[in-house]
Amino acid sequence: MSFDIQKIRADFPILQQQIYKRPLIYFDNAASTQKPRQVIDAISHYYEHDNCNIHRGVHYLSVKATEAYEEARKEIRQFINAASTHEIIFTKGATESLNLVAFSFGEKYIKPGDEVITSIMEHHSNFVPWQQMCIERGATLRILGVNEHGELDLEELRLFLNEKTRLVAITHVSNVLGTVNPVKEIVAMAHLHGVPVLLDGAQGVSHLPVDVQDLDCDFYCFSGHKLYAPMGTGVMYGKEKYLEEMPPYQLGGEMIKDVYTDHTTFNELPFKFEAGTPNVEGVMGLQAAIHYLQDIGMERIAVYEERLLNYATEKLSAMEGIRFFGTSTHKASLISFLIGDIHPYDAGMIIDKMGIAVRTGHHCAMPLMDYLKIPGTVRASFAFYNTIEEIDQLVAAIVKAREMLS
Ligand code: PLP
């Protein structure tokens, strides 16, 4: 089946606009993706027909909204092939999912002297919670480095794993380098030592088909807004055997079973981890986004995005003075680079004036910037609604930025 790019682009109203009298070119998809009409309509539909607080009422609307919410949970279970809906916890994003695991898992399983392994390529959201949790609990955070291509060294992981290791927390795909980590191998290695593995899927789930049972990861965390769904939505997948034992992360309504004046018993999974009124509208949008992606097919999306990545890499490689950060052969569709000695912020400003949104700066990965000894990069991240012609425009904008700033 051919990939009908014009039909796809027509689904995204925001892409139809002009900025600075030029058609908007949106290459900041790793920060947040745009939303198709189908997602926007699902939110309106919810408020026009179903809006009500869920899980609490016996009346018609409450039951309808609850059923819709729980149906979405079933579809998300299917989307990542979790074994049970008990393992799908709705959160407000990857950051909340990662904090939930760090503090709840930490409280249950991490003692003074224990070790947690992470990597230097992590987003702050999968770095700071582990760092702080280790400080609080008297544990040690061990940090894997990267090679000149921006890849993890599995030999280093082998050396780090020992009887004190309690968890490996690694990103599926780096938001700076684009590297797709060999997460299946990482999980297998850690499991040989009986160590569970958390994958930060914030950049993985939007580019690759994810099957958590096949990966055999113990936790998988992601945000809806990077998956063409509304902001304020996210998922924490965790294996039931851990979630059953882990304490609640937040306390309040919904997550309780019975409350007495002197103690409280907690609800069953997944509700134990979902305190308070959830973002029902957002979950309706997340469900619509997943339908939309499934209609196109995650495999086809991956193939098309790889074409964009290869084209952009080839074009930028042919330019003088471009330094790439992240040259692994296993990459998702983003490129991080510097143009000669030009500061990324200055380059980003000129590129913006050409109607092109790229991200500049440290990309919430300051330890990686220190490791690479750079202030930041320019990052162009592609989605399946981007085109080869747009990449040609980016090349022209880089030429212009170099002319003006060199
Ligand atoms: N992890 C990675 C790899 C990311 O790229 C991001 C966001 O850019 C996050 C975690 C945090 O996601 P959010 O801000 O949606 O919670």
318-334 residue pLDDT tens: 999 999 999 999 999 99
Q: Percent of the chain having pLDDT more than 70?
A: 100
Q: Percent of the chain having pLDDT more than 90?
A: 98
Q: How far is ligand 1, taken at its centre, from the CA of residue 265, in Å?
A: 33
The reply to whether ligand 1 has any atom less than 6 angstroms from the CB of 281 is: no
Ligand 1, atom 12: nearest CA belongs to which residue? Answer: 94
Which of 294, 309, 336 is at the close of a domain? 294
Longest dimension (CA), the chain: 71
Kindly state whether residues 397 and 384 are assigned to the same domain.
Answer: yes
Is the omega angle on the peptide bond into residue 270 within 30 degrees of 0, that is, cis? yes
Tell me the mean pLDDT in the region 158-168: 98
Q: Please confirm, yes or no, whether 364 is among the known catalytic residues.
A: yes
Kindly state whether residues 59 and 108 are assigned to the same domain.
Answer: yes
The reply to whether ligand 1 has any atom less than 6 angstroms from the CB of 95 is: yes
Tell me the mean pLDDT in the region 145-149: 98
Identity of the amino acid at 72: A
Q: How many domains does the chain have?
A: 2
Q: How far is ligand 1, taken at its centre, from the CA of residue 364, in Å?
A: 8
CATH number at residue 360: 3.90.1150.10
pLDDT digits (tens, 9 = 90+) for 213-225: 999 999 999 999 9
Kindly state whether residues 9 and 78 are assigned to the same domain.
Answer: no
Task: Tell me, yes or no, whether 20 lies in a domain.
Answer: yes
Residue 338, pLDDT score: 97
Q: Is 57 a residue whose pLDDT tops 90?
A: no
Kindly state whether residues 286 and 304 are assigned to the same domain.
Answer: no
Task: Tell me, yes or no, whether 308 lies in a domain.
Answer: yes
Q: What is the DSSP string of 221-282?
A: EEESGGGTS-TT-EEEEE-HHHHHHSPPSS-SSSSEEEE-SS-EEEPPTTGGG--S---HHH
pLDDT digits (tens, 9 = 90+) for 185-210: 999 999 999 999 999 999 999 999 99
Q: How far is ligand 1, taken at its centre, from the CA of residue 305, in Å?
A: 20
Separate counts of helices (H) and strands (E) for the chain: 14, 17
Beta strands 334-339 and 264-266: pairing type? Answer: unpaired
Query: If pLDDT is split at 50, 70 and 90, which confidence band does 1 have?
Result: very low
CA atoms of 378 and 381, how far apart (whole Å) = 10
The reply to whether ligand 1 has any atom less than 6 angstroms from the CB of 126 is: yes
Kindly state whether residues 157 and 290 are assigned to the same domain.
Answer: yes
Task: Tell me, yes or no, whether 35 lies in a domain.
Answer: no
Task: Tell me, yes or no, whether 302 lies in a domain.
Answer: yes
Kindly state whether residues 311 and 388 are assigned to the same domain.
Answer: yes
Query: How crowded is residue 372: how many other Cβ atoms within 10 Å of its Cβ?
Result: 20
Task: Tell me, yes or no, whether 36 lies in a domain.
Answer: no
Kindly state whether residues 88 and 105 are assigned to the same domain.
Answer: yes
CATH number at residue 124: 3.40.640.10
The reply to whether ligand 1 has any atom less than 6 angstroms from the CB of 94 is: yes
Residue 142, pLDDT score: 98
Q: Which domain holds residue 266?
A: 41-294
Residue 2, pLDDT score: 60
| Torsion sign (Cα): 393, 306, 232, 69 | positive
Task: Tell me, yes or no, whether 78 lies in a domain.
Answer: yes
| Length in residues, the chain | 406
Kindly state whether residues 64 and 146 are assigned to the same domain.
Answer: yes
How high is the mean pLDDT of the chain? 97
Kindly state whether residues 149 and 134 are assigned to the same domain.
Answer: yes
Q: How far is ligand 1, taken at its centre, from the CA of residue 63, in Å?
A: 33
Nearest to 204 by CA among 62, 72, 330: 330
The reply to whether ligand 1 has any atom less than 6 angstroms from the CB of 33 is: no
pLDDT digits (tens, 9 = 90+) for 278-332: 999 999 999 999 999 999 999 999 999 999 999 999 999 999 999 999 999 999 9
Kindly state whether residues 17 and 93 are assigned to the same domain.
Answer: no
Kindly state whether residues 253 and 146 are assigned to the same domain.
Answer: yes
Kindly state whether residues 197 and 331 are assigned to the same domain.
Answer: no
Kindly give the number of the ligand 1 atom that is closest to the alpha carbon of 200. 1
The reply to whether ligand 1 has any atom less than 6 angstroms from the CB of 198 is: no
Which of 294, 327, 352 is at the close of a domain? 294
pLDDT digits (tens, 9 = 90+) for 380-404: 999 999 999 999 999 999 999 999 9
Residue 122, pLDDT score: 98
What is residue 126's three-state secondary structure?
A: helix
pLDDT digits (tens, 9 = 90+) for 4-13: 999 999 999 9
Which of 270, 294, 318 is at the close of a domain? 294
Kindly give the number of the ligand 1 atom that is closest to the alpha carbon of 97. 16
What is residue 26's three-state secondary structure?
A: strand
